[in-house]
């Protein structure tokens, strides 16, 4: 079975721009979660998607938005980038929304200049 | 809100030394508790979990016991190896079970020297 894959692996943007990060979930998984991991910190929950609907959101502003597609792949969109958005963005998939075992991708390293 | 506190790092040990990494938590309800490990350049991997009080999770020689009375989930290993060098995160699940949200601690870097 294929694991969780994220693209791109690295990205450099300037303040005010918009960015889209992509995630392909593990085969058979219908739930995707996104996390932001700042340098030296633990991952922080952004939101989760279950069967194309948002199913829980962390303490992030509305300029962080997402999508989940019928094949359960997902996108994270961030508008009006700020310097503090520089972080590793992790995608995790699970068999279903209440499942506690998450499978993480290697992440996208976003740098905002 | 829910939170996880890990001991300050980094930790450097010699091979075959005993490892303890402290983790305490604050949560409403009864979350499950986890240890995740992040090797350089890789995503997080589940190391072990415990779902209720007094449960012991174990994997690859690592152990942690869910202590409700002390709200702790300390990670231990009797004899570390160089290959255990990584960042270790303690985490708890959403106690409501509504979603798969995890709340993580800051993580601690473990370096094991030969």
DSSP, residue by residue, B35-50: EEEE-TTS-EEEEEEE
B55 in contact with chain A, both atoms CB, cutoff 8 A: no
Residues of B in contact with A25 (CB under 8 A): none
- Confidence check: pLDDT of B97 > 90: no
Per-residue pLDDT tens for A34-80? 999 999 899 999 999 998 999 999 999 999 999 999 988 999 999 99
CB A25 within 8 A of CB A34: no
Distance (Å, rounded) from C-alpha B58 to C-alpha A56?
30
Residues of A in contact with B106 (CB under 8 A): 40-42
Mutate to test the interface with B, among A100, A105, A106, A109 (most CBs of B within 10 A): A100
Q: In what order do the strands lie in the sheet with A19-24?
A: A5-7, A19-24, A74-78, A64-68
Mutate to test the interface with B, among A90, A93, A102 (most CBs of B within 10 A): A102
Tokens matching residue B6: 């890990």
Distance (Å, rounded) from C-alpha A21 to C-alpha A108?
7
CB A34 within 8 A of CB A76: yes
User: Looking at residue A96, what is its pLDDT?
Assistant: 79
Q: Is B84 helix (H, G, I), strand (E, B) or coil?
A: helix
Distance (Å, rounded) from C-alpha A107 to C-alpha B51?
27
Is the preceding peptide bond at A8 cis, omega within 30 degrees of 0? yes
- Select the residue of A42, A44, A98 nearest B100 (Cβ to Cβ): A98
Question: Minimal Cα–Cα distance from B58 to chain A, Å?
Answer: 15
Per-residue pLDDT tens for B12-65? 999 999 999 999 999 988 899 999 999 988 889 999 999 999 999 999 999 999
Tell if the CB–CB gap between B44 and A90 is shorter than 8 Å: yes
Grade residue A106 by pLDDT with cuts at 50, 70 and 90.
Answer: very high
């Amino acid at each position: 079975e294929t694991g969780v894959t994220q693209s791109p692996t690295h990205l450099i943007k300037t303040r005010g721009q918009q960015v889209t990060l992509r995630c392909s979930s593990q085969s058979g998984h219908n739930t995707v979660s996104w996390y932001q991991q700042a340098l030296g910190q633990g991952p922080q929950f952004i939101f989760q998607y279950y069967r194309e609907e948002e199913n829980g959101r962390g303490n992030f502003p509305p300029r962080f938005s997402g999508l989940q597609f019928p094949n359960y792949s997902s996108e994270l969109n961030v508008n009006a980038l700020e310097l503090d958005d520089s972080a590793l963005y992790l995608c995790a998939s699970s068999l279903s929304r209440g499942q506690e075992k998450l499978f993480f991708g290697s992440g996208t390293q976003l740098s905002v200049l | 809100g829910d939170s996880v506190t890990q001991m300050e790092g980094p930790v450097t040990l010699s091979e075959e030394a005993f490892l303890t990494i402290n983790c305490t938590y604050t949560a409403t309800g009864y979350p499950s508790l986890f240890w995740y490990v992040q090797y350089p350049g890789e995503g997080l991997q589940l190391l072990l979990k415990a779902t209720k009080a007094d449960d012991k999770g174990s994997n690859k020689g690592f152990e942690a016991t869910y202590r409700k009375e002390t709200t702790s989930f300390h990670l231990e290993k009797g004899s570390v190896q160089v290959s255990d060098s990584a960042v270790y995160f303690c985490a708890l699940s959403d106690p409501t079970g509504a979603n798969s949200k995890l709340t993580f601690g800051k993580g601690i870097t473990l370096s094991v020297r030969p």
